[in-house]
Amino acid sequence: MSPLPQASREAMERLVADCRALAARAAQRVGGRVHLMEVCGTHSHAIARAGIRALLGDDVRLVSGPGCPVCVTDAGQIDLCLQVAQRPNTILATFGDMVRVPGSEGSLADVRARGGRVKVVYSPMEVLTVAQQEPQCDVVMAGVGFETTAPTIACMVQEAARLGLRNVLLLSAHKLVPPALSALLAAEEVRLHGLICPGHVSVVIGSNAYRGLADEHGVPCVVAGFEPADILLTIRMLLQQVADGDARVENAYRRAVTPEGNRRAVEAMYSVFDVDEASWRGIGVIPGSGLALRDEWSAFDVMDRFGLVTPEVRDHPACHCGEVLRGARLPAECAAFGKACTPARPLGPCMVSSEGACAAEYRYRAA
Amino acid sequence: MCLAVPGRVERIEESVAVVDVGGATVRVRLDLCPDAVEGEWVLVHAGFALEKVDEEYAKETLALLAEMDSLKDALPEGAP
Amino acid sequence: MRPETRDSELVVLGHGGGGRLMQELIDDCLAVLGPANGLGQLNDAAYLELSGGERLAFTTDSFVVSPLLFPGGDVGRLAVCGTVNDLAAMGAQPLGLSLGLVVEEGLERETLAQITASIRGACEEAGAKIVTGDTKVVERGAADRLFINTSGVGLVPPGVELGGERAREGDVVLVNGPLADHALAILAAREELPLQGDFRSDCAPLNGLVAAMLAAGGGSVHTIRDLTRGGLAAALNEIARQSGAHLEIVEETVPLRPAAKAACDLLGYDPLTMANEGKLLALVAPERANDVLDAMQAHALGREAAAIGEVKGLGERRVTARTALGPTRIVDLPSGELLPRIC
């Protein structure tokens, strides 16, 4: 029995009907459209694929959020990855969807065309195998990802130490989600009435992690799974809260998410990383929102080993990824969307990453 | 990167589980989920078992959705 | 930011990917070479008319797959099947194939022998003959182990007219079986697939299947297309471009083996864009579609054949997919580098 909630067409229609009815009541209460943020890029993808935006009707506006780790990686760090990949005797290891993100001088794909060594990995543990096979090369992992992925990178570092591998390095661009949400809510650029909280980040950090947001900002937070039924159940719960004037944390993904999360994963993460400030593309520097290697692991820090400095990079003038990441603009509201900016010729990361809101919207754009 | 898929643990070989993700298997590290046992469902992410999937809660959601089938003739006001 | 565009000074891997970038590279070449019958049509093979009214089909293909050997086949089998299938897509049975080898110094003689045996086996299966060839050896580093070019000539039965430009409103889209197997087999052979399972290339000669389809459907079969790089999505978009047609598929009806689905789900791949080497699509007029489908299912290479969509109309060039929950999405020509050196 698969644990995935497959719903019949009737059940889905019923859920949609419930949501629409609740949306009308919620809209009345807030005096306008209800704004819900899809925090996580994988949710944006699932929502676009299921056509949920259109199904909900005009009382609800689903906006995208900063939950695409590749999209929020500082442009300067993208350029650092390109620099590293071009160094002699160096292999840059990366998750797949970083490969086509445009930096100042092309993408990692372009660097590969010019002879740079770029290795796509599914698991960070593959880095260790490469490092063992190529002892004369430095293998640098581009550490991009939130709390879902950071614990796996932490395990990579710990195992590298256990194996005595001196040629494994990390470029940490890891980030934490709740501080970014806090910053967005505090900035009040977009009036958000509810948050669809990321499912797999929450597996690690637990649903309690959003209590602060609900209490301080009066915003309902519901943790969602990734099937269309999961997402509609979540939206129904959010709209119910908005209609009732509530602001609580609820968990609609209980089959995988507990209130405390995965303690072991959190411990692994914080035994290797310290919390630091981080620069989020499109948002700016957010204190306490990033992960940096702890001093005792600094031998693995590529910034130290290679003496790197993160360059300041301007975004393409026609690129509105920042606003999309902050929920201030929908992909379809970007003048470049589908014209100057397409998956074949992306201006910014939101169109290239598999979790980018623009990529999701483009791939599943209605005929 | 938030992509994680559920799979069933076929067998455990030291700190690695062989997980059936529906027609194929993945070898995943158990560092983050050391008490997974054969037959259980886990979430697979980046070559690791991230967490166990609770079958009781999974069934609960399925039951909730099944219930909606029987209510399909009673749509609330304002439904399209 | 300088994204990968036609203005980049270098050819990038994506230009060989079977998708949009490759289309642009080919368009650039065509602009210089000038349109010609066949090249202009962009079908799998060109029709050549002889003075007696008979027609030949002529095609060429180069094979640079890495690695040379993979589950379900090797570069030799690929080279024969690829060319036989391009001829078959135009309704032709192979008369003769050429075999051109570029061998890198240092290739093991035994590997070459294995590949040659494979070529022979594939020829026997297809009823094809290698009638001429050429061999070059280049110094280490000048080629990656072995590159093969095959060209093929076939006889087109009288009355058979197939082409991507011949789609008609109402045509049913048929495929002969599950997709994405070849691409996944190559990834598995490159140890780039973090899954273990039965990943085997579907590499096979389809000329026998095509003969059965034409016997069942005759002139109602308008188009047959060999699905290779860029997968179903590329082939559908090419046909839309050639015919000015709107083609729509129903996602749930596209056959996919469970292992392939698991791999695509885990890695975020779109099965519609992944390479095949033993799959074709056909556009058949609705009144004969069931007959053709029956004939396919009766054939060893079509047991899992399925109807997956239709030509909605002519006039608007697009490819759409109806998804499980109803909303219809656009299926683009895949962009850039999918999986390099897949065939």
Instruction: Tell me whether B18 touches chain A (CB under 8 Å).
Output: no
Q: How far is the C-alpha of C125 from the C-alpha of C127, rounded, in Å? A: 6
Pick the CATH number of C164-330 from 3.40.50.720, 3.30.450.20, 3.30.540.10, 3.90.650.10: 3.90.650.10
Mean model confidence pLDDT for chain C: 91
CATH topology of domain A9-68+177-251: Rossmann fold (3.40.50)
Instruction: Tell me whether C268 touches chain B (CB under 8 Å).
Output: yes
Least confident interval from A152-166, B58-72, C246-260: B58-72
Find, among B65, B63, B42, B68, the residue nearest to B54 by Cα. B42
Which contiguous run of DSSP H or E holds residue C259? helix C258-267
Q: Would you say A111 and A198 are in contact if contact means Cβ atoms under 8 Å apart?
A: no
Q: Is pLDDT at C230 greater than 80 in this prediction?
A: yes
Mean model confidence pLDDT for chain B: 86
Per-residue pLDDT band for B62 (boundaries 50, 70, 90) equals confident
Averaged over C101-130, what is the pLDDT? 97
Give contacts of C192 with chain A, Cβ < 8 Å: 120
Q: Kindly report the CA angle at A337 between A335 and A340, in degrees rounded to 5? A: 85
| CB spacing of A148 vs B2 below 8 angstroms | yes
| CB spacing of B48 vs A146 below 8 angstroms | no
For the ranges A39-53, B53-67, C69-83, the one whose mean pLDDT is highest: C69-83
Architecture label for domain C42-156 = 2-Layer Sandwich (3.30)
A 10 A CB-CB count for C11 gives: 11
Instruction: Tell me whether B57 touches chain A (CB under 8 Å).
Output: yes
Q: Is pLDDT at C227 greater than 50 in this prediction?
A: yes
Q: How far is the C-alpha of B39 from the C-alpha of A206, rounded, in Å? A: 25
Give contacts of B44 with chain C, Cβ < 8 Å: 266
| CB spacing of A5 vs B58 below 8 angstroms | yes
Length of chain C: 343
Give contacts of A268 with chain B, Cβ < 8 Å: 31-32
**DSSP per position, C81-136:** HHHHHHHHTTTPEEEEEEEEEEEETT--HHHHHHHHHHHHHHHHHHT--EEEEEEE
Q: Is pLDDT at B78 greater than 50 in this prediction?
A: no
**DSSP per position, C228-256:** -TTHHHHHHHHHHHHHTEEEEEEGGGS--
Q: How far is the C-alpha of A122 from the C-alpha of B26, rounded, in Å? A: 11
Q: Is pLDDT at C255 greater than 50 in this prediction?
A: yes
Q: Is pLDDT at A253 greater than 50 in this prediction?
A: yes
Find, among C179, C216, C204, C181, the residue nearest to C298 by Cα. C216
Question: B15 to chain C nearest CA, in Å?
Answer: 17
Q: Is pLDDT at C333 greater than 70 in this prediction?
A: yes
Find, among C74, C93, C71, C69, the residue nearest to C83 by Cα. C93
More confident: A367 or A340: A340
| CB spacing of C12 vs A319 below 8 angstroms | no
First vs last C-alpha separation in chain B: 36
Residue A3: predicted pLDDT: 82
Percent of chain A with pLDDT over 70: 100
A 10 A CB-CB count for A215 gives: 12
A 10 A CB-CB count for B30 gives: 18
Residue C17: predicted pLDDT: 73
Residue A230: predicted pLDDT: 95
Residue B72: predicted pLDDT: 55
Q: Is pLDDT at A29 greater than 60 in this prediction?
A: yes
Give contacts of C268 with chain B, Cβ < 8 Å: 3
Furthest-apart CA pair in chain B: how many Å?
57
Q: Is pLDDT at C338 greater than 80 in this prediction?
A: no
Chains in contact with B, counting 3 or more C-beta pairs less than 8 Å apart as contact: A, C
Q: Is pLDDT at C260 greater than 50 in this prediction?
A: yes
| CB spacing of C261 vs B44 below 8 angstroms | no
* Per-residue pLDDT tens digits for A81-96: 999 999 999 999 999 8
More confident: B10 or A104: B10
Give every strand in the sheet of C280-284, ordered side by side. C221-226, C280-284, C172-175, C306-314, C245-250, C318-322, C328-330
Instruction: Give span(s): CATH 3.30.1330.10, chain C.
Output: 42-156
Least confident interval from A4-18, C80-94, C122-136: A4-18
Instruction: Tell me whether C263 touches chain B (CB under 8 Å).
Output: yes
Q: Would you say A355 and A67 are in contact if contact means Cβ atoms under 8 Å apart?
A: yes
Residue C20: predicted pLDDT: 78
Q: Is pLDDT at B37 greater than 80 in this prediction?
A: yes
Q: How far is the C-alpha of A145 from the C-alpha of A302, rounded, in Å? A: 17
Averaged over C149-178, what is the pLDDT? 96
C213-to-C84, C235, C310 alpha-carbon distances in Å = 16, 19, 18
Q: Is pLDDT at B2 greater than 70 in this prediction?
A: no
Instruction: Give span(s): CATH 3.90.650.10, chain C.
Output: 164-330
Q: Count Cα neighbours of A112 within 13 Å in the Cβ-side half-sphere.
A: 20
Residue A30: predicted pLDDT: 96
Torsion angle of alpha carbons A34, B1, A367, C43, nearest 10°?
170
Chains in contact with A, counting 3 or more C-beta pairs less than 8 Å apart as contact: B, C
Least confident interval from B55-59, C71-75, C159-163, C180-184: B55-59
The dihedral of CA C122, C124, C129, C130: what is its sign? positive
| Token code pair at residue B6 | 């559920």
Residue C37: predicted pLDDT: 53
Averaged over C283-300, what is the pLDDT? 98
Phi and psi for A315 in degrees, rounded to 5? -75, 160
* Per-residue pLDDT tens digits for B15-35: 899 999 988 999 999 999 999
Which contiguous run of DSSP H or E holds residue C21? helix C20-33
Please confirm whether the linkage preceding C194 is cis (ω < 30° from 0). no
**What is the set of domains in chain B, with CATH numbers?**
5-70 (2.30.30.140)
Amino acid code (one letter) for C234: A
Domains in chain A: boundaries: 9-68+177-251
Q: How far is the C-alpha of B69 from the C-alpha of C180, rounded, in Å? A: 35
Of C194, C197, C268, the CB nearest to B23: C197
Averaged over B39-43, what is the pLDDT? 96
A 10 A CB-CB count for A78 gives: 26
Per-residue pLDDT band for C4 (boundaries 50, 70, 90) equals very low
| Token code pair at residue B50 | 């991230």
Q: Kindly report the CA angle at A156 between A152 and A162, in degrees rounded to 5? A: 140
Q: Is pLDDT at C1 greater than 50 in this prediction?
A: no
* Per-residue pLDDT tens digits for A133-192: 999 999 999 999 999 999 999 999 999 999 999 999 999 999 999 999 999 999 999 999
Residue A155: predicted pLDDT: 98
Per-residue pLDDT band for A102 (boundaries 50, 70, 90) equals confident
A 10 A CB-CB count for A338 gives: 16
DSSP A311: P
Residue in C with minimal Cα distance to B27:
C195
Residue B36: predicted pLDDT: 95
Which are the contacts of A225, defined by CB distance < 8 A and separation ≥ 6?
A5, A199, A231, A234, A252, A253, A255, A256
Residue C77: predicted pLDDT: 98
Q: Is pLDDT at A119 greater than 60 in this prediction?
A: yes
Please identify which residue in the block is written with the tokens 């080898």.
C101
Q: How far is the C-alpha of A357 from the C-alpha of A183, rounded, in Å? A: 20
Q: How far is the C-alpha of A320 from the C-alpha of A323, rounded, in Å? A: 6
Per-residue pLDDT band for A235 (boundaries 50, 70, 90) equals very high
Question: A191 to chain B nearest CA, in Å?
Answer: 25
* Per-residue pLDDT tens digits for A278-313: 999 989 999 999 999 999 999 999 999 999 999 998
Strands A138-143 and A168-172: parallel
> Computed over its alpha carbons, how large is the radius of gyration of chain A?
21
Which are the contacts of A193, defined by CB distance < 8 A and separation ≥ 6?
A26, A30, A34, A35, A36, A219, A220, A238, A242
Residue A4: predicted pLDDT: 85
Of C10, C326, C327, the CB nearest to A113: C10
SS3 of residue A205 by DSSP = helix
> Computed over its alpha carbons, how large is the radius of gyration of chain C?
19
Summary count for chain C: helices (H), strands (E): 8, 15
First vs last C-alpha separation in chain C: 32
| CB spacing of B27 vs C260 below 8 angstroms | no
- C-alpha A264: how far from chain center: 22
Find, among A122, B19, B29, the residue nearest to C194 by Cα. A122
* Alpha helices (runs of H) in chain A, residue ranges in sequence order: 9-30, 41-50, 52-56, 75-86, 108-113, 125-133, 150-162, 177-187, 199-205, 211-217, 228-244, 263-272, 302-306, 321-325, 357-363
Instruction: Tell me whether C141 touches chain A (CB under 8 Å).
Output: no
